Structure 1
Amino acid sequence: MSLKNTVDRWGPVSQFLHWLIMLLILGLAIVGLSLDSLPRSPKYFWVYDLHKSVGLTVLVLVVLRLAWRLYAGSPRPVAGTPAWQAAIAGATHWVLYGLILAMPLSGWLYDSASGLRPLRWFGMAEVPKLSAPDPGIRDFAHEAHEWLFWVLVALVALHVGAAFYHHIFQRDDTLKRMLPRRRGT
């Protein structure tokens, strides 16, 4: 069994990175949306630091995912897919990658420009600042982080909706190509 993608389906490395990144983003979304409701206590700062560390992890994983995709290629569109759908799917994937890169970068920039205590990845390694403390950059990065999140939510909803549309109504293998194979198939 090859780890690379084939012309018909995503390989196990692509699948693993796809689902891992999805789970981490889901967790980040839940935590990010609840941060404002948490009392400012030591637990708040622990949760906030965890949010930042997981966000930076997603940044690294999406860079790996992109590198792997460039190396391993991608499956061709499912037979019978109209060219316009294939073009939209391809563009959507690249915009998703861009958003998943921009989200942690905007959060990192926000943290840097806030002038807060040093950002430490899971408490182990200090992460360099992207800028000196600057209220203008801080406000811009915070706004960008929030807007990028909602654009990502909308695009992910379209992505998931399209996958289920193909699975339920088109009855093609679009969704199955990103799922692990069952034993014996």
Structure 2
Amino acid sequence: MSLTNTQARYGSVAKALHWSVALLILAMLPVGFIAAKLAEATQAGSPIVPIGVLTTMFSAHKTFGVLVLILAVLRILWAFSQPRPAPLHPERRLETLAAEAVHWMLYAFILLVPLTGWIHHAASSGFAPIWGPFGQNLPLVPKDEALSHLFAQLHFAAVLGMLGTLGLHIAGALKHQVIDRDVTLARMLPGRRVPDAALSGVGAEAHGKLPSLLVAVLALAVGAGITAQVIGGDHEATHVEIAEVEAARDTEVAAMAEAPATSDLPLWQVQSGTLALKITQLGNMVAGQFDSWQADIRYDPEATGADKGSVVVTIDIASLSLGTVAGQAMGADYFDSAQFPTARYEAALIEQDGALVSKGTLTIKGIAVPLEFPVALTIDGDVAQASGAFALDRRAFGIGDTVPDEGTLGFGVDLTFELEAARQ
């Protein structure tokens, strides 16, 4: 069999690329669908499989997708370098045009599906790396959760488009095989030698590249348009929901700020600050932060004795941003934010050996653990700058008990804070 195409037959290279992409898609789609459903169960607090199995499934799905993208690009380049076998029924012009359009729309979605998925992966942080030499990052794609969310929606919409055009493509092949009883399908089957008699008259007219190129461009435009249309409403609704959640959190924080004073010591109002954390997942560091928290600080550096004040910090657990695993972290096996929406740290601020130390108790999921760490503090007039760092063991709070393997999810969690506060 010839490696290259002729006007009557597909060559072995075209067949190999066609069936390699087809088999990878048939593996990629169910693995991704099953992994997504298992992740939903895990996030809801009813894990069906260990997190290591779930991670492997997502990694397999992503790696298959990258391979599909590479092979699809090679296939398209090969298609434009080769004569395409002429249709067996050139007199059926409308049918031929429809088949051509579906063919190139399928190409478009085969490119869009893995490309949007890869950008979604590259823009997010952590969870299920792509295997092999493929990069976890992409040029010009920043780590941005909003961008990652957008391309997750684009990816889903492109999958729907690919499923639709794939269904039409398979239906067309079955129509030729069952109804027309011709050799259209046989021309693409590996190892099949189509009798010359069945191809008599085929190839008399060249199957021009220009019409194919125009259809390809139109197919790409239609594919991108369908994808954008599908996500349009949902994406807008998502931003509305996010805005509502943020407004609710702002109201809660404002209510916390208006809580009555319980101490005669000066009150310090936080003007700005960050509460960040880092975890280790599958050997990779994943960084995140709590976006909503409130600190009630009572402090007087001139107070007599070692006790200089107190601090009460209330943290909105659901405000955690942690790459692609933030949603999973809210599940019952992790933070269980539905039952325990806040964490609380209450401590005394004590001067010890010329340094300020925070000694208190951190409560997460109803479990209180002693926590002590030094605080770096500078005061300029009525403005104070404070920072600190400490490490926790997630097991002390019953977080991730179903993941006892530190290679999958590290036991240690590193937290840092920085804030600026003004004396009231």
How high is the TM-score relative to the length of structure 2? 0.41
Given the alignment of the two structures, is residue 128 of structure 1 paired with residue 134 of structure 2, yes or no?
A: no
Match of 2:30, as an amino acid?
I
| 1:79 CA drift (Å) | 3.3
Q: For residues 184 and 90 of structure 1, do their structure 2 counterparts lie closer, same or farther at Cα, with a shift above 3 Å needed?
A: closer
**Letter in structure 1 aligned against 2:137:** P
Question: How far apart in 2 are the matches of 1:172 and 1:90?
Answer: 18
Match of 2:120 among 99, 103, 110: 110
- Which residue identity does 2:10 align to in structure 1? W
If you compute each CA radius of gyration, which structure gives the higher value, 1 or 2?
2
**How far is 1:119 from its partner?**
4.4
Identify the structure with the greater strand proportion.
2
* Farther off after superposition, 140-149 or 122-131: 122-131
Matched, 1:165 2:170: no
Change (3 A) 1:172 1:71: same
Residue from 47, 55, 68 that aligns with 1:45: 55
Match of 1:144 among 145, 154, 176: 154
Paired residues for 1:16-55 under 5 Å: 16-38=16-38, 39=49, 41-55=51-65
- Determine whether 1:62 maps to 2:72: yes
Could you say what secondary structure the match of 1:180 adopts?
A: coil
Residues 143, 5 of structure 1: CA spacing in aligned structure 2 closer, same or farther, 3 A cutoff?
same
Q: Which moved more, 1:68-77 or 1:58-67?
A: 68-77
Pair 1:94-2:104 in alignment: yes
Displacement of 1:116 in angstroms is: 2.5
Encode CA deviations 1:64-116: one digit per residue, 9 max, x unaligned: 10111111221111135511111111111111111000101100111112123
Residue 198 of structure 2: aligned partner: none
Cα contact 1:119–1:126 (8 A) shared by 2: no
How does the TM-score come out when normalised to structure 1?
A: 0.90
SS in 1 for 2:137: coil
In 1, the alpha carbon distance for the partners of 2:184 and 2:194 equals 20
Partner of 2:3: 3
Moved more, 72-81 or 164-173: 72-81
CA contact (8 A) 2:102 2:168 kept: no
> After alignment, is 165-174 or 35-44 more displaced?
35-44
Rounded to whole Å, the distance in 1 between the matches of 2:159 and 2:134 is 26
Amino acid at match of 2:138: K
Tell me, yes or no, if the aligned pair for 1:35 and 1:44 is still in contact at 8 Å.
Answer: yes
What is the CA-CA distance between 1:178 and the residue it aligns to? 0.9
Check conservation: 2:187, 2:194, Cα contact below 8 A: no
Question: Would the aligned equivalents of 2:177 and 2:183 in 1 still touch at CA under 8 Å?
Answer: yes
1:82 aligns with 2:84: no
SS in 2 for 1:176: coil
Q: Which amino acid aligns with 2:3?
A: L
Structure 1 residue aligned with 2:164: 154
Q: Quick one: higher RCO (CA 8 Å, sep 6+), 1 or 2?
A: 1
Q: How many residues are paired up?
A: 184
173-182 or 126-135: bigger deviation:
126-135
- Percent identity between the aligned chains? 33
Which blocks of at least 5 consecutive residues in structure 2 are unaligned?
Answer: 39-48, 196-424
CA separation of 1:129 and 1:40: change in aligned 2, threshold 3 A: farther
Deviates more, 1:8-17 or 1:75-84: 75-84
CA–CA distance in structure 2, aligned partners of residues 29 and 149 of structure 1 = 9
1:2–1:119 CA distance, 2 compared to 1 (3 A): same
Q: CA RMSD in A?
A: 2.0
Runs of 4+ more than 6 Å apart: none
Matched residues in 2 for 1:184 and 1:172: separation? 10
